[in-house]
A and B are shown apart, each in its own frame.
Chain A
Amino acid sequence: MAFFGLFGKAKTIEDYVNKLPSGGMTVRALRTLDFIAPGEWENINNFDTLIKKVTRESDPVFVADVKKQALKLWSDKKEGYQKALDIYQRVDASDKILGLAALADKAGDKINLLSFLDKITPEADTSQSIDFAVKVLSELLAFIKVNGLPGDGVVDFVKALNEYGKDSQMRMAALIAFDGLIPLGPDFLNKASDSVKKLGPSSLEQNSLFSRVKGFIPEGQGGAGMIQKAFGPVASWMENFAASKNLTRESTLHGLSQFIDGTDSKLDYLGAFIDVTTKYFEHTGTQSVASRLIERAGNEA
């Protein structure tokens, strides 16, 4: 239903890309992670511009051909691009987001975290750890929808993480920084691994994020089993990725302190604040789905 507007007209990937914000909390938070690959992530929110960027072409006839093919692939539900975007949107779906994000946006150039403390409820470490693991699962599910399931899905997923475009790398960096390092600390991967090992069907079912994405798990694959299979290899990749990009709690806090005051304490509140005021999964997910769709269209047009 998310893909239908007020009068039932299906929204296209072009609509979703063109509606991405140029500023606001999500973009400001993502920009603080620019240091992982300076200048490489561009916040492109125009579909035609994205076509030119991805294909490295400017010939209007070719660009039009690519666009036509991209929209054709998008409209075919069997291709999975719509489902992938749905997954990214569901990860960030929350009743709390809009109100607080609007308040944060009105706070001026610099936001004082302390003035929001009474509006935020940090999650317990266990619950935060499960959320982190379910976000990894969601990324895997979206990957399968966009790229198919070649060979062993999990192994290829981990290999493909190294081939990820800049928008996807930015999402992974944000996941590590905002959902791992800040709320859980430098040993976030160990904490998440411990939670994953103990994960049973009942603890998963109680997780609201899991309930939103479980419908996308392929038949015959239990949610807990799929997370347990995927988490180890993904955690190793994340550890190497964070180390190679100097992605630490300190570097993340340094970035966020450029626009949020009070980041030196109450880190659990800071994590919760970013969680409820940003939609970084949906934002970069839209850019990723569109980029992969355009890449394929460029190969088929």
Chain B
Amino acid sequence: MISTCALALLISMAGLLSGCKEPTPRDQQVEGKAFNPFFPASQDGYSVIFTSEKKGYSQANIKKGDVEVATMAVSDLIDDAEAVRKFEGATDSILSFPVISRGENGTAVLIANRFQIVLRSTSEEFSAEDRRKWISSLDLASIAALK
């Protein structure tokens, strides 16, 4: 059995097979689909269009008319302690969840010490204040309750 696993490991390292692995934190990530009900609906001339949905990740574009003005993403950081640590010492918050800036055009909030929501402006029109407003319009409490 040990030699079978060792052989499988060798083959796996060659990129031909994956097997005989312990479950990793990544396997515990929620499906991206689980985030979708908690995204805000299209509103006030803005439309929300889902563009990506993978394990532990979901992304939507925010468009005003035909122009994309921002992206909005939720990711599960259960396997990424380093990404969680960047929120340590945050001085800003939304509903008591820590908020930090990510570059000039991004605002990130950490929910339940595990789920990260990032709003990134893709147009000058979409301000830091807009990003805060849209983060607040996600159903943060329901995201916090996800397992």
Q: Is the CB of A156 within 8 A of B104?
A: no
Chain B interface residue count, Cβ-Cβ cutoff 8 angstroms: 33
The interface residues of chain B, by DSSP majority, are classed as: strand
Chain A interface residue count, Cβ-Cβ cutoff 8 angstroms: 26
The interface residues of chain A, by DSSP majority, are classed as: helix
For the complex, give the distance between the alpha carbons of A78 and B54 in Å.
Answer: 10
Q: Is the CB of A296 within 8 A of B52?
A: yes
The 8 Å CB contact of B103, one of A55, A150, A159, is A55
Binds A, one of B3-11, B88-96, B114-122, B135-143: B114-122
Contact with A along B10-33 (1 / 0, CB 8 A): 000001001000000010000011
The answer to whether the Cβ of B41 comes within 8 Å of any Cβ in the partner chain is: no
B56 to chain A, nearest CB (A): 9
A147 to chain B, nearest CB (A): 4
Q: Is the CB of B104 within 8 A of A163?
A: no
The answer to whether the Cβ of A34 comes within 8 Å of any Cβ in the partner chain is: no
Contacts A55-B103, A77-B15, A159-B49 given: A300-B32 contact, CB under 8 Å? no
Chain A residues with Cβ below 8 Å from B61 are 163
Contacts A57-B103, A59-B103 given: A299-B75 contact, CB under 8 Å? yes
Q: Is the CB of A292 within 8 A of B118?
A: no
The 8 Å CB contact of B49, one of A148, A163, A296, is A163
Q: Is the CB of B49 within 8 A of A79?
A: no
In the assembled complex, 18 residue pairs joining A and B whose CB atoms fall closer than 8 Å, in A order, are A55-B120, A56-B105, A57-B104, A62-B102, A77-B15, A147-B52, A148-B53, A148-B54, A156-B50, A163-B51, A295-B71, A298-B106, A298-B118, A298-B120, A299-B75, A299-B106, A300-B73, A300-B75
Q: Give A residues with C-beta under 8 Å from B.
A: 55-57, 59, 62, 76-80, 146-150, 156, 159-160, 163, 292, 295-296, 298-301
